[in-house]
Amino acid sequence: MKKLILYSALAFTLTGTAFAQPSGGHGGPQGEDPCKTERQTYCKDSRPGHETDRCLKEYMSKLSETCKNHINEMLSRFEKFRSACASDDEKYCKNVDRGPAHMKCMRENESKLSAACKAALPPPPPGNRM
């Protein structure tokens, strides 16, 4: 179960779905993928999501510093979110599959979440504001 959660977390962090890079951050303008070149170079035949994320992990030593920094920052953000929201997650979204449906569940219950979890909840991707 922990592996499933870790892989789901990694998929979100590397694809930027849940933890989008803020404007002007290490990845450049908002929406810009700091690992785009690496995905195209090393993982072009991988399907988006878990497969691509596992591929990038395999090539971690060859990734640019920008991409490595992005991955580490996204993992750090996710860990903060997971810690801050563990009890809220258990209470409101326990039976929801990890992935987009899980983040949707958390956002739908945002008014009920603890202050720490609300602060750690990533903003919805651009164009998906609720």
Q: Quote the pLDDT of residue 7.
A: 45
Task: Give CA–CA dist 17/81, Å, rounded.
Answer: 14
Using the predicted structure, report yes or no on whether residue 104 has a pLDDT greater than 60: yes
Which residues fall within 8 angstroms of residue 75, CB to CB, at 6 or more apart?
9, 10, 13
Partners of 25 in the β-ladder: 28
pLDDT, tens digit, for every residue of 68-91?
998 888 888 889 999 999 999 999
Report the predicted TM-score, pTM, of the whole model to 2 decimal places. Answer: 0.63
The first and second tokens of residue 126, run together, are: 């651009």
Partners of 28 in the β-ladder: 25
Label residue 109 by pLDDT band (50, 70, 90): very high
The first and second tokens of residue 125, run together, are: 């991707």
Using the predicted structure, report yes or no on whether residue 23 has a pLDDT greater than 70: no
Q: At what angle do helices 65-92 and 2-15 cross, to 10 degrees?
A: 130
What residue spans define the domains of the chain? 46-120
Label residue 67 by pLDDT band (50, 70, 90): very high
Residue with tokens 């990533």, as numbered in its chain? 122
